[in-house]
Amino acid sequence: MLYFVQPSTRTFLSFQSACQILGMQCSEIRNPSISSEAKGERVEDAIRTFSSYVDIIIMRSPLPGLCSRMAQILDQSNRPVPIINAGSGPDEHPTQALLDLYTLHRDFKNCGGISGKTICMVGDLKHGRTVRSLARMLVHFPNIHMIFSSPKNFAIKDDIRDYLSKQNHITFSETEEFETLLPQCDALYMTRIQDEWHSPGESFDKERYHLKWHHLKQMKENALILHPFPRREEIEVRVDQDPRAKYWEQERNGMWIRLALISQILNVSDELCDYYDKAINES
Ligand code: NCD
């Protein structure tokens, strides 16, 4: 079941393509106004209903914490089908973080891997869920240094600060600078302004956090430029021509990492690898 009641292009399509490659059939809800939620059904009941018909639920919802709450509810039911969080409110986007890591892993393969790298995350870090999930996953790599670059009132929240420093003893820095950071970055993770989550009166000094063509000469030769997309003006389109721009690869990697995740959850990854090896040997 693809339950996506928040706008989505890449996450929806990459999950759908991953399911299709695996030979799975998908049901989908993208518009709750034409399901029974419009008749006043509780969202928890609606999602529990899906578990009667499918073997896995992939869900994106604007409601913070709903994915984990549903996972707990289903775990206590007699059909505890797995749930994958495909974006939950402004809190978490774990499969985006997986694809970001996979992209970093592939591109840093020949220069020592992800460990020890300086990763700079830029933009509306207060509301951006991709940065929150990526920061949490990066703690698994030794000697990683994270730099968070944003206006002061759009800085990462205390829960992430605590997760990094108190719970995982990771050193990180926070700054309002952007341009002066560029020479230090091994990876530059740009994000858009998340104005759908802003309170009235919150405004962001955008221009300062835009990556332009002329900035590229200040960056390391092997640095990587990432963005979860959609992009607005954070990265000038001309930057796409630079080999350090990896965001189009990220999209493709997203499909494969989601395929891998689904096959792992459904316990078919070994079978799939055998099938693949056999197909390669026969060809
Ligand atoms: C992100 C999201 O939805 O959180 N997009 C995505 O899934 N690739 C980032 C965003 O919307 O800015």
Ligand 1 centroid from CA 85, angstroms: 13
Number of neighbouring beta carbons within 10 Å of residue 195:
12
Which pLDDT does position 206 carry in this prediction?
Answer: 73
Catalogue the active-site residues.
10-11, 39, 60, 93
Number of neighbouring beta carbons within 10 Å of residue 40:
6
Tell which residue, 187, 202, 97, has the closest CA to residue 140: 97
Which pLDDT does position 25 carry in this prediction?
Answer: 97
Ligand 1 centroid from CA 228, angstroms: 6
Helix-then-strand count for the chain, H and E: 8, 9
Specify the residue with its C-alpha closest to ligand 1, atom 7.
11
Residue ranges around ligand 1 (CB below 6 Å) = 10-11, 87, 93, 96, 129-130, 191-192, 228-230
246/250 Cα distance (integer angstroms): 6
Burial, 6: exposed, middle or buried (Cβ in 10 Å; 0-12, 13-18, 19+)?
middle
**Alpha helix (H) ranges present in the chain?**
10-21, 43-50, 66-75, 94-107, 129-138, 158-162, 247-265, 269-282
Whole-structure pTM value: 0.96
Ligand 1 centroid from CA 20, angstroms: 22
Which pLDDT does position 203 carry in this prediction?
Answer: 83
pLDDT in tens, the chain (283 residues): 999 999 999 999 999 999 999 999 999 999 988 888 888 999 999 999 999 999 999 999 999 999 999 999 999 999 999 999 999 999 999 999 999 999 999 999 999 999 999 999 999 999 999 999 999 999 999 999 999 999 999 999 999 999 999 999 999 999 999 999 999 999 999 999 999 999 888 888 778 999 999 999 999 999 999 999 999 999 999 999 999 999 999 999 999 999 999 999 999 999 999 988 998 888 7
Which pLDDT does position 200 carry in this prediction?
Answer: 87
